[in-house]
Amino acid sequence: MRKPFIAGNWKMYKTPKESLAFLDAFLPLVEGHTRDEIAVFPTMSSLGYVLEATVGTNVRAGAQNMHWLNEGPYTGQTSPTMLVSIGCRHVLLGHSEQRLYFNETYERVNLKLKAAINHGITPIVCVGELLAEREDLKTEETLRSQVRAALRNISASEARRLVIAYEPIWAIGTGSTASPEVAAEAHKIIRHELSHCCGEQTADNTRILYGGSVKPENIGALMQQEEIDGALVGGASLVPTTFANIVHYA
Ligand code: 13P
């Protein structure tokens, strides 16, 4: 019922030229692949080119962030209407790098989520605990409060297209993935909180992706877990053959 979703977060990598070279190599490798939804999230400078190059293919492209207002004196920001105007229908929200390095707040993630929903943009809301929180046995509390804050005043019907990415901060870019069991346990907590916020049906239908050092070698075991509905891949999504191998997990 929940179609698996494999997404590549390119972070601050790849010029437009490099992004298009990636697609030249990657698109043929996943041509005709329908089992999973596939998306890449390039930088804002490449997004328009990537959107254009993926028209008519099975690969979608989205933004790594956005503002919640349509326009205004906010230097450095991009609005939901601007994303829609270039054909962008996906956005990452609340990534831990935004939270850690750019002061992204729980409140703003909620405003952005509402704006994405209002503009028909599929939001992928990222949540995840720090190593210290896990060690202090605060994983559940952290995940629940992140989900609750993001979904404040959002109804079940509004949450219809929501996607969540569970990205434990200690697993991002470190090479140490959460074990499939640890990830599935966290997904259960997230799904439970979703059902509190938006009802059981929404919780059942919402895809929860795992992110944090996903590689071709570990994707298969992760996807075996019923709770894991896909992956948000950083480093390993930058190389066409590697990302294609992840998409083709067995
Ligand atoms: P890595 O796959 O490089 O650990 O990054 C994960 C991530 O942050 C995806 O959003």
Domain positions in the chain: 5-247
What does the pLDDT read at residue 1?
Answer: 85
Task: Kindly report the CATH class assigned to 5-247.
Answer: alpha beta
Is 167 labeled as catalytic in the residue annotation? yes
Residue among 242, 249, 217, 186 nearest 8 (CA): 242
Q: Which atom of ligand 1 is nearest to the CA of 212?
A: 4
CA of 236 to the centre of ligand 1 (A): 8
The active-site residue, picked from 37, 67, 90, 95, is: 95
CA of 188 to the centre of ligand 1 (A): 21
- Strand ranges in the chain using DSSP code E only, listed in sequence order: 5-9, 37-41, 59-61, 90-93, 122-127, 163-166, 207-211, 230-233
Inter-CA distances, 116 with 80, 121, 150, 160, 215, Å: 7, 5, 12, 12, 29
127 has which bridge partners? 166
CA of 63 to the centre of ligand 1 (A): 15
Residue among 35, 13, 149, 22 nearest 93 (CA): 149
Helix (H, G, I), strand (E, B) or coil at 216: helix
d(CA 197, CA 182): 23
Residue with tokens 């935004």: 98
Mind listing the pLDDT tens digit of every residue in the chain (250 residues)?
899 999 999 999 999 999 999 999 999 999 999 999 999 999 999 999 999 999 999 999 999 999 999 999 999 999 999 999 999 999 999 999 999 999 999 999 999 999 999 999 999 999 999 999 999 999 999 999 999 999 999 999 999 999 999 999 999 999 999 999 999 999 999 999 999 999 999 999 999 999 999 999 999 999 999 999 999 999 999 999 999 999 999 8
Helix (H, G, I), strand (E, B) or coil at 181: helix
Closest residue to atom 7 of ligand 1, CA basis: 234
Residue with tokens 């990657």: 26
Inter-CA distances, 237 with 54, 156, 199, 222, Å: 16, 32, 33, 16
Is 95 labeled as catalytic in the residue annotation? yes
The active-site residue, picked from 167, 187, 193, 227, is: 167
Kindly list the protein residues whose Cβ atom lies closer than 6 A to any atom of ligand 1: 9, 95, 167, 172-173, 211-214, 232-236
Q: Which atom of ligand 1 is nearest to the CA of 97?
A: 8
Structure tokens at 182: 């640890």
CA of 214 to the centre of ligand 1 (A): 7
Q: Which atom of ligand 1 is nearest to the CA of 11?
A: 10
Structure tokens at 98: 């935004």
What does the pLDDT read at residue 217?
Answer: 97
What does the pLDDT read at residue 250?
Answer: 86
What does the pLDDT read at residue 185?
Answer: 98
